[in-house]
Structure 1
Amino acid sequence: MLALVLLWRGDYSSKTQWTLTVLVVGTWCSFAFAARERVVHPLQTVSNLLSALREEDFSVRARGARRDDPLGDVMFEVNALSEMLREQRLGALEATALLRTVMEEINLAVFAFDEAQRLRLVNRAGERLLAQPIERLLGRTAGELGLADCLQGEPTRTLQMTFPGSIGRWGMRRSSFRQGGKPHQLLVLADLSQALREEERQAWQRLLRVLGHELNNSLAPIKSIAGSLGSLLGKEPPPADWKEDMQRGLGVITARADALSRFMEAYSRLARLPQPKLQAIEIEPLIRRVAGLETRVPVVLVHGPNVMVHADGDQLEQLLINLLRNAADASLETQGNVKIGWARIAVQLQIWVEDEGAGLSNTGNLFVPFFTTKPGGSGIGLVL
Structure 2
Amino acid sequence: MLKKLKETKVAFEDRLVRIALLGASLPTALSIVFIVSAELSVYLKILLIFLLLVVVSYAAFAIWQQVIFQLRTSTNLVEAMTSGDYGLRANNKGVDGALSDFNQLLNKLAQRLAEQSLITREKQILLTKITDQIDVAVVAVDQESNLTLMNPAAERLFKKRFDELEGWPIKNLGLQNVMTEALNKVTEFEINKDKRKVYVRTDTYFELGEKHHIIFITDIQHLLRDEERLAWQRLLRVLSHEINNSLAPIASISETLTQSFKSEDESQPLSQDSRENLFEGLSVITERAHSLNHFIQDYQKLTRLPLPNKSEFSLRPFMQSICQLFEKSEFNVPDKDMKVFGDPEQLQQVFVNLFKNAQEANLANNQITSSIKLEWYARSDNVVIEVCDQGTGINNEDNLFVPFYTTKKQGSGIGLTLSRQIALNHGGDLNLMNKVEGPGAQAIFTLPYQRSIVG
TM range (shorter): 0.7 to 0.9
- Among 369, 378, 382, the residue aligned to 2:412: 378
Partner SS state of residue 307, structure 1: strand
**1:113 Cα deviation after fit:** 4.3
Q: Unaligned stretches of 5+ in structure 2?
A: 1-27, 419-455
Partner SS state of residue 308, structure 2: coil
**1:136 Cα deviation after fit:** 4.5
Quick check: 258-267 or 112-121, which moved more? 112-121
Match for residue 351 of structure 2? 320
Q: Give aligned pairs, total.
A: 382
Quick one: percent identity of the two aligned structures?
A: 33
Q: Deviations over 1:16-72 (max 9, x none)?
A: 212222222222222332233334421332233234434444344434555633313
Amino acid at match of 2:169: R
Partner SS state of residue 373, structure 2: strand
Match for residue 354 of structure 1? 388
**1:126 Cα deviation after fit:** 2.5
- Among 337, 340, 343, the residue aligned to 2:371: 337
Contact 1:65-1:76 within 8 A present in 2 as well:
no
**1:367 Cα deviation after fit:** 1.0
C-alpha distance in 2, partners of 1:137/1:61? Answer: 39
C-alpha distance in 1, partners of 2:176/2:336? Answer: 43
Match for residue 201 of structure 1? 229
Match for residue 295 of structure 1? 327
Contact 1:111-1:119 within 8 A present in 2 as well:
yes
Q: Deviations over 1:325-345 (max 9, x none)?
A: 222221221223112332110
Match for residue 107 of structure 2? 79
Quick check: 177-186 or 276-285, which moved more? 276-285
Quick check: 341-350 or 72-81, which moved more? 72-81
Q: Unaligned stretches of 5+ in structure 1?
A: none
Match for residue 271 of structure 1? 303
Contact 2:89-2:107 within 8 A present in 1 as well:
yes
Partner SS state of residue 100, structure 2: helix
C-alpha distance in 1, partners of 2:157/2:334? Answer: 51
C-alpha distance in 2, partners of 1:281/1:144? Answer: 50
**1:305 Cα deviation after fit:** 5.4
Q: How does 1:1-384 map to 2 (within 5 A)?
A: 1=28, 2-63=30-91, 65=93, 68-114=96-142, 119-134=147-162, 135-136=164-165, 138=167, 140=169, 145-146=174-175, 148=177, 152=181, 155=184, 157-164=185-192, 167-236=195-264, 239-303=271-335, 306-309=338-341, 311-334=342-365, 335=367, 336-384=370-418
C-alpha distance in 1, partners of 2:113/2:249? Answer: 82
Query: What RMSD over aligned residues (CA atoms) do the two structures have, in Å?
Result: 3.0
Partner SS state of residue 287, structure 1: helix
Contact 1:340-1:352 within 8 A present in 2 as well:
yes
- Flag the 1:197–1:138 CA change in 2: closer, same or farther, 3 A: same
Contact 2:147-2:165 within 8 A present in 1 as well:
no
- Flag the 1:144–1:132 CA change in 2: closer, same or farther, 3 A: closer
Amino acid at match of 1:252: V
Partner SS state of residue 337, structure 1: strand
- Flag the 1:228–1:339 CA change in 2: closer, same or farther, 3 A: same
Quick check: 295-304 or 248-257, which moved more? 295-304
C-alpha distance in 2, partners of 1:162/1:353? Answer: 47
Contact 1:131-1:165 within 8 A present in 2 as well:
no
- Flag the 1:161–1:297 CA change in 2: closer, same or farther, 3 A: farther
Contact 1:118-1:139 within 8 A present in 2 as well:
yes
Amino acid at match of 1:42: Q
Amino acid at match of 2:35: L
C-alpha distance in 2, partners of 1:212/1:179? Answer: 59
Amino acid at match of 2:177: A
Q: Deviations over 1:73-123 (max 9, x none)?
A: 322331332243234324423433443344244321112345676654333
**1:139 Cα deviation after fit:** 5.3
Partner SS state of residue 353, structure 1: strand
Amino acid at match of 1:109: A
